[in-house]
Structure 1
């Protein structure tokens, strides 16, 4: 699922709701545009999801359609859509620490975490040295303010949820994540050893998807984290995508289950991690 398709589907759904409001009022698109003082094509662009409506657009729409009681809900929906796709540069413009802190309330209230990583070891399972290497790369790539030390401290503090007794973590990683060099050999050896240790926690289930596993429907996809059945955060190169629509959340549930089915757990997973450590030489 791409970021553009998910946001576009949400915009189209909002457009359909606005179209129903207009049709219920008995107005044509041309008549509504005339009343609102818009170009006659604007209603069509909004209804087909090509132009996102502003708060003022929605207020005018509902006013002229005699549906002002729906304005607040429609505005909230529109704002949520625009918040689905957020560029990393926007969230990290004042530094990485703030981006890490912003996630704390979500982590605290979530009881069931499901994580799939095709890029790096998941943040909750990272060592401080590994996190430092990852965030240094982000600073260099995105030219964000360098507050890596502070951001690492926040992420390490966030890991207390692993041992709180109120959360469960189902984690899936592709085997190549274990063999992708982040930092140097010392950093990687420490990270892989930590992965074996944290996988023994009662709250954590760690699955490793072997590179040679036959792929049916469980093909590699973008990295994502599911927070209960309420929200999915998807990691993209330039941005992160927040999924909250139940149908789309169910799509990620299906994908996670399919990937889980081809992962190895327990001793076989530990063997793959140990082999990755041995390969460091």
Structure 2
């Protein structure tokens, strides 16, 4: 799949919503631009999602379309779009080592955290050695200081204090391929797989593995974190996406349920971890 900003589709959908307001009163884009005091190309850019309207733009648009009552809803959607996507240049301003401590309050107030990963072991389940290897790759990709890697990895370990406490309850889903993407070399991967076996026995933690070769009812996709029914987070190569929109939360809840139906748990999941070790040793 392409590494396209997920907020792009939301911008296009918002543009379509504004376009419908114009069509509801049967005026052209040129006429709407005239009423708002804009160049006609601005209407086209907004309707096609290539330009996000300002709050003032939205007020002018709705007023020109005799839809003043929709202004609060439209402004709220616009604010959500602005918060959805953060490119890594902006995301990393505080530094990798500080970013690892920023979400502690969110973890503490979450009751159930659902996590799906298809490419690597999730941060909550990582050893410090695996985290260091992952941060080294990340730093080189984004031109970040390698001096931060050690402290970033150790700060990531701070979130492990939530595991096994029931606050939150954790439900992890991993594609089997995430266990064999060699991050850090044989010794690091052996330690990581040992750690997964240990964590899988903790209370309030479930780890499901979707075996390789299993007939799929839903294909693999990008990893995501679901915080209760209130927040979705995803990370991509170029940035991070988050949303609290109910329709998005509901959609990813259905995705998680469909993926969970394909997973194995308990002894069968531990067998998958052991099988991953065997595949790595044979590589």
Which deviates more, 264-273 or 55-64?
55-64
2:110–2:228 contact (8 Å) kept in structure 1: yes
Stretches of structure 1 that go unaligned for 5 or more consecutive residues are none
1:128–1:156 contact (8 Å) kept in structure 2: yes
How far 1:86 sits from its partner (Å)? 1.9
**Number of equivalences:** 280
* Equivalent in the alignment of 1:52: 52
1:94–1:145 contact (8 Å) kept in structure 2: no
CA distance in 2, matches of 1:280, 1:62: 59
* Equivalent in the alignment of 1:61: 61
2:107–2:168 contact (8 Å) kept in structure 1: no
1:113–1:170 contact (8 Å) kept in structure 2: yes
> TM (normalized to structure 2)?
0.86
CA distance in 2, matches of 1:252, 1:10: 15
CA distance in 1, matches of 2:80, 2:3: 14
* Equivalent in the alignment of 1:159: 160
2:80–2:243 contact (8 Å) kept in structure 1: no
Q: RMSD across aligned C-alpha pairs, in angstroms?
A: 2.7
SS in 2 for 1:101: coil
Call closer, same or farther: CA 1:24–1:254 in 2, change over 3 Å: closer
CA distance in 1, matches of 2:36, 2:59: 10
* Equivalent in the alignment of 1:98: 98
How far 1:198 sits from its partner (Å)? 0.6
Stretches of structure 2 that go unaligned for 5 or more consecutive residues are none
Confirm whether residue 194 of structure 1 aligns to residue 205 of structure 2.
Answer: no
Which deviates more, 86-95 or 22-31?
22-31
Q: Deviations over 1:133-175 (max 9, x none)?
A: 1111111111113312222232111121213322111111111
SS in 1 for 2:189: helix
Matches for 1:30-49 after TM superposition, within 5 Å: 30-49=30-49
CA distance in 1, matches of 2:179, 2:80: 36
1:218–1:259 contact (8 Å) kept in structure 2: yes
Matches for 1:38-187 after TM superposition, within 5 Å: 38-62=38-62, 71=71, 73-146=73-146, 147-187=148-188
CA distance in 2, matches of 1:19, 1:275: 54
* Equivalent in the alignment of 1:205: 206
